Amino acid sequence: MLARLTLALLLGLAAAPAFAEVKIDGHIDPAEWAGAKHIVDFRQTQPFTGKPGSQPTEAWILSTPKGLAVAIRATQPDGEVVRSRQQTRRDENALVDRINVMVDFNGDGRVGYDFEVKSQGGIADEVITNESDFSYDWDGRWDHAVSQDADGYSVEVLIPWYIAPMHKAKGGERTIGLYIDRVIGSTGERMGWPTITFDQGRFLSGFQRVRMPAYSQSLFAVTPYVVGKVDRAHGGTTFEQGADILWKPNGQTQLTATINPDFGQVESDDLVVNFSPEETFFTDKRPFFTENQGIFDFSLLDDYSQLVYTRRVGGASDDGHGAADISAAVKVNGSLGSTNYGILTAQEKGDAGRSFGALRLSQNVGTQTFGMLATHVSHPYLDRDANVLGFDHRWQPSTDFSITSNVVGSKIDQPDARTSGLGATSIAYWQMNDVWAQQWLGMYFGERLDIDDFGYLPRNNMEYLHWEVRRRVTGLPEDSAYASHLWRYRISGANNTRGLPISRRLRIQRDSRRRDGGDEEWRLDTFSSAYDDLLTRGGYALHEPPTAKLSYDRTRPRVGRWAWEAEGFVTGNQLTGYHRLGYYFKFTPTYFITDAFSLFLGGSYEWDPNWLIWQGRDNLVGSYDGRTIGIDSGLNWNLSNRQELRVKLQTLAVGAKLRDTLEVTPSGGTVHSDEPVDDLGVANLGFQIRYRYEIAPLSDLYIVYNRGGYRDDTEDDVGSQFRQGFSLKDVNEGLVKIAYRLEF
């Protein structure tokens, strides 16, 4: 008996290290992957034919104590199938040869993570929410390696179990959702397992469920940072210090904290000139606000609408003295049984500093998911408290049909401005077959609904309905320039809550995959007469005549030394409709001096006749003939997968000559006004030189120079504004930032 027990123990010890001995070096050793789940059934998902891929693809999946290990062998014979040699920086959306490993660690279709590895070793990582919304803002800590040979390339990936919150395992096993694909950059062909695609209504919840041994890992990491800045525009030298703290005692609980967080001095937003009543949306790259943020996703299904828009924290101060400074913030994510939770709190500095708080809960019950999100913002400077409460629900009665709905209420307490509002949205998607699909969407946002203290909503006071039919076309002739088309036909209508029609639209859109690996989009929007009730910011609504807009967008990946992007539109205007058409075009070619060094120079021009701009008082608007010139240029030098040099120059110049001064009447018409209104000009500049060196994973050295500014005046000559824009120095600074992650 003792001999048998000893033999069994020795055999167990001999077998156990097999899972722990996987070495992430890009070379797939059969002995290391002997116990792995082997996948060979990769099928075309782009174009979405479901046929076997044109090139063999194999994957191995293994649960190890150190994390989820995945190996992929991508056959791509050199000389038979064009290989991309282009070097990429982290999170670059490049059309090159690549693999994606997408994981839903809870297998519930709520939040997924995409781990992308290019054939030349570059990586990207994204968070997936709302079935198919991908965000590059998050950067995770995971291992990868690539090796090349004459027949193709091999990729190995190790994803630690602490990388995301997940439910507690049952019986020593857990079920995850998994999707793996590889893309051939020169043709755009995507081969995936299982056979699903992200341009359907159901993607994340369609991942293959895989049951595997469960392991738990803990992590305690501190990332202190220091920034030294020389400000030549306003004088002076400053030093800032802060730290991000991450504690993950197990897979069920994860705590993140930040002290004096970096507000992204090394990241630059794209330039925008916005005279419309709707706020511009910007993404967030601050590590604290991107780490495990998916739990707080609560979309109102209207563009970028969210109940938690983290750019509010540290945004424009209530006292008007620039951006607010953040003292500290704390976030806790986790699960109790099948209930997921998230708690977020942040405090700004000073007497005008705001306090932010959010609580998120979600619960899966069979084919349904129920959720709740509550937010609170306190504004001591404004004596204002804002509370928002939302409930969301997703029901998936079958693999082909799903309904997502939510109800939101807001309550604002402020002297002389106490309000309460309601909103609700619902969207249903029916994948009838591989060719046809339908979508129905309804929204109601009350006139007093206000979520913008912590959230983002382009507008309230709206009732909206649309019906969309989608048709997928594959099997095109081999000599066609296109591999597939996805047609979308949509009719929609919107009123404000007082019954005034604000939109009636017919949309026809074609999204195409081209055989050169690029994308192309055509879109036609036709509008019947309606009213613009936002132009005068609460004044009379402007009656708009029937009009239309035709848009085009094309991306061509690198062929030889060149790649390019083109976009543009032709449109009517809201004053005279089809009379006096406006237009916009932008062309951005990229020239590759080497595989790692490229230059791009984009130029844009926009003609906007009868451009209506509110003058800040009553119902007075100016009708302008506007011209906008833009440059979007720079260079990218990826010295290695660990260091890069980027130069980015953007400038926008606007020259708007006053055509007429108008008063909007109660009936929605316009009459001439003798009120004085000036011509308009804008100069806007953004210039950045940035060097980044990755000291270690999630530890970086940045050396950055920023310069730019914004100015508006009465000079209507766009050429003059363009030239003067290069002299702007509202921002003129150099900085060095070092952030180093310490793991315990």
Residue 318 in domain:
no
Q: Is the pLDDT of residue 11 over 80?
A: no
pLDDT tens readout for residues 518-562: 999 999 999 999 999 999 999 999 999 999 999 999 999 999 999
**What's the pLDDT score for residue 499?**
96
CA distances from residue 243 to 120, 134, 224, 227 in whole angstroms, order as listed: 33, 27, 4, 11
Residue 639 in domain:
no
Is the separation of the CB atoms in 361 and 374 below 8 Å? Answer: no
pLDDT tens readout for residues 369-402: 999 999 999 999 999 999 999 999 999 999 899 9
Least confident stretch, 129-138, 660-669, 705-714? 129-138
Q: What percent of the chain has pLDDT over 70?
A: 97
Region class of 131: left (phi > 0), else alpha (psi between -120 and 50), else beta: left
Does the CA dihedral 541-281-551-485 come out positive or negative? negative
CA distance 22 to 443: 50
Q: What residues pair up with 650 in beta bridges, in sequence order?
A: 632, 686
**What's the pLDDT score for residue 17?**
40
**What's the pLDDT score for residue 285?**
84
Q: Is the pLDDT of residue 155 over 80?
A: yes
Q: Angle at Cα 254 formed by Cα 395 and Cα 394, nearest 5°? A: 5
Q: Is the pLDDT of residue 15 over 70?
A: no
CA distance 192 to 682: 48
Token couple for 121: 């070793």
Residue 293 in domain:
no
Burial class of 10 by CB neighbour count within 10 A (0 to 12, 13 to 18, 19+): exposed
Is the separation of the CB atoms in 326 and 352 below 8 Å? Answer: no
| pLDDT level of residue 264 (50, 70, 90 thresholds) | low
**What's the pLDDT score for residue 387?**
98
Q: Is the pLDDT of residue 663 over 90?
A: yes
Q: Is the pLDDT of residue 6 over 60?
A: no
Residue with tokens 């097999």: 18
pLDDT tens readout for residues 56-87: 999 999 999 999 999 999 999 988 899 999 99
Residue 69 in domain:
yes
pLDDT tens readout for residues 190-210: 999 999 999 888 899 999 999
Residue 39 in domain:
yes
Residue 147 in domain:
yes
Q: Based on the structure, what is the number of domains in the chain?
A: 1
Range of 192-196, 266-270, 302-306 with top mean pLDDT:
192-196
Give the structural domain span for 183: 18-217
| pLDDT level of residue 366 (50, 70, 90 thresholds) | confident
Mean pLDDT for 211-238 is: 93
Higher pLDDT, 291 or 344: 344
Mean pLDDT for 37-59 is: 95
Cβ atoms within 10 Å, residue 238: 11
Q: What residues pair up with 422 in beta bridges, in sequence order?
A: 409
| pLDDT level of residue 262 (50, 70, 90 thresholds) | low
Strand, helix or coil for residue 604 = strand
In this structure, what is the dihedral angle of CA atoms 135, 139, 142, 144, given to the nearest 10 degrees? 70
Q: What residues pair up with 466 in beta bridges, in sequence order?
A: 441, 492
- In the 3-class helix/strand/coil scheme, how is 258-277 assigned residue by residue? EECCCCCCCCCCCCCCCCCC
| pLDDT level of residue 367 (50, 70, 90 thresholds) | confident
**What's the pLDDT score for residue 265?**
66
pLDDT tens readout for residues 568-623: 999 999 999 999 999 999 999 999 999 999 999 999 999 999 999 999 999 999 99
**What's the pLDDT score for residue 208?**
96
Q: Is the pLDDT of residue 2 over 80?
A: no
Residue 66's CATH number: 2.60.40.1190
* Type of residue found at 698: L
**What's the pLDDT score for residue 298?**
94
Residue 651 in domain:
no
Is the separation of the CB atoms in 492 and 466 below 8 Å? Answer: yes
Residue 73 in domain:
yes
Region class of 351: left (phi > 0), else alpha (psi between -120 and 50), else beta: alpha
pLDDT tens readout for residues 429-485: 999 999 999 999 999 999 999 999 999 999 999 999 999 999 999 999 999 999 999
CA distances from residue 19 to 15, 36, 71, 356, 360 in whole angstroms, order as listed: 8, 9, 13, 44, 36
Strand order in the sheet with 152-159: 37-39, 57-64, 67-75, 152-159, 143-149
Question: Burial code of 688-697, b = ≥16 C-beta within 10 A, e = fewer?
Answer: bbbbbbeeee
Strand, helix or coil for residue 5 = helix
